[in-house]
Structure 1
């Protein structure tokens, strides 16, 4: 016949085993739930006014997972009534779509099976700027990510060369930018710059540098708080050879980032021009 001490000891062992099983079950559920996550390639994109912008959002799942089913996607914007876009039961559901986005937004249904719920906004306007939330629910998991869209106007400059004067002009910038000329060693040069304000507060930039030398290179930088255009202009006997790229400031990661992370980065868009 078991003693009282043996009964207590056995009961404690049973309780410990029960609690251990519960902990293992809870951890298993937690890890299985974290096998998928809603992410974005850019948490703070800069959209060029008047152009289309793609807001990245997708469900990252374990490799080798089969096609995602029963996908529901909802895009909303802070301080905005209604939805930006909703997709449910295999079709768009735009009954309560905000009028600001009517006819200007779309998803790509053929990509939803792979978890891609990125939103295309056509002809970006200033009032499109703000905090967007992308929510995904599917057979493979669910979650959300927040994306802060910023708007600006920016354009590459064009160059002309005449009588040792190198002139640069860019047709649209907002907010109003600063302009800097540098030599190939990074020393600041004195240029002559003028701004013209057009409709909607969009600025055009006109700047010149003199004198310039054949076979020498000059850096022309236009920048505001959101984006910079950097051009390297090389003066030749036949004209000007130019390479240019844009650099958005404080853009969130160019890698695949979960919503809880944020990094500083930039992207480069190189272009090559030859001007006579």
Structure 2
């Protein structure tokens, strides 16, 4: 038979576990009620040199209304100071890193809808890196990371020449691969030359080395960051071109040229 001391001891142990469980439950409930979320739909954007890019950051609260006491801070890994800071309905740029002076802005009219995205003007190579968007407001607090990669890309101009096709793209970085396909997905013989211009950018000149007939031909220009899929439809003496850009979803995964191109052509044929 257990002694009174043992009964008291085990009762205290049970009570401690029960109290701990209640505390954990209350903390979980409080956290789920008070915390919203900070998210991004584009964690690995690609900036086109010399053009503007938007770093996507959204926040969601547990209530339908976003209060006015929103604090938004953008920082970049490896740099002192802030990229941009907003609080008390105003910009606070006294600690802004000089690299971003007059280069960045939020969208003030959209903050009340939960939009904390940052516009980065005239992208340069040094803008590449990991950015962190931190939001604190009533009902939400959190940080999300956005890894910006920078390169150069442009849609090719495809023309008919000597009963064949020629594609010219003004700027690509890194240097891409170029392949041509007919409307059945068969790879066609071609010749491509690259011409270097400042900042490591290359101009692309690619000649399709087969005679073309009426139909649709595809020129794919592809590097580790982006793939340009250009469909050239030949009708009589005109060429109608449409280009779609596909961005690599992760900086650590570079799709091989063979597998990536095969997948793109498969999708085109299914479509």
Q: Aligning the two structures, in what range does the TM-score lie when normalised by the shorter sequence?
A: 0.7 to 0.9
Match of 2:227 in 1: 228
1:39 and 1:83 map into 2 onto residues whose CA distance is 20
Gapped runs of 5+ residues in structure 1? 253-267, 269-276
- Corresponding residue for 2:29? 28
Asked if structure 2 preserves the Cα contact closer than 8 Å seen for 1:69 and 1:140, the reply is no
Give per-residue Cα distances to partners, 1:56-103, cap 9 Å, x unaligned. 1121223x5222331111111111121111112221111121111100
Q: Give the 3-state SS of the residue equivalent to 2:65 in structure 1.
A: coil
Would you say 1:137 and 2:136 are equivalent positions? yes
Paired with 1:168 and 1:10, the residues of 2 have a C-alpha distance of 82
Match of 1:39 in 2: 39
1: CA distance, partners of 2:197 / 2:136:
45
Q: TM-score, normalised by structure 1?
A: 0.82
| 8 Å Cα contact 1:42-1:251 kept in structure 2 | no
Q: CA RMSD in A?
A: 2.4
Instruction: Pick 1 or 2: higher relative contact order, CA cutoff 8 A, min separation 6.
Output: 1
Normalised TM-score (structure 2)? 0.84
Cα 1:163/1:11, change in 2 over 3 Å = closer
* Structure 1 residue 10: Cα displacement: 11
* Alignment gaps of 5+ in structure 2: 252-263, 265-271
Deviation at 1:226, TM superposition (A): 0.5
CA contact 1:82–1:96 (8 Å) conserved in 2: yes
Provide the aligned length of Structure 1 versus Structure 2: 249
CA distance in 2, matches of 1:133, 1:155: 28
Structure 1 stretches of 4+ with a deviation exceeding 3 A read: 7-21
Mean Cα displacement is larger for which, 64-73 or 120-129? 64-73
**Matches of 2:39 and 2:164 in 1, distance apart?**
49
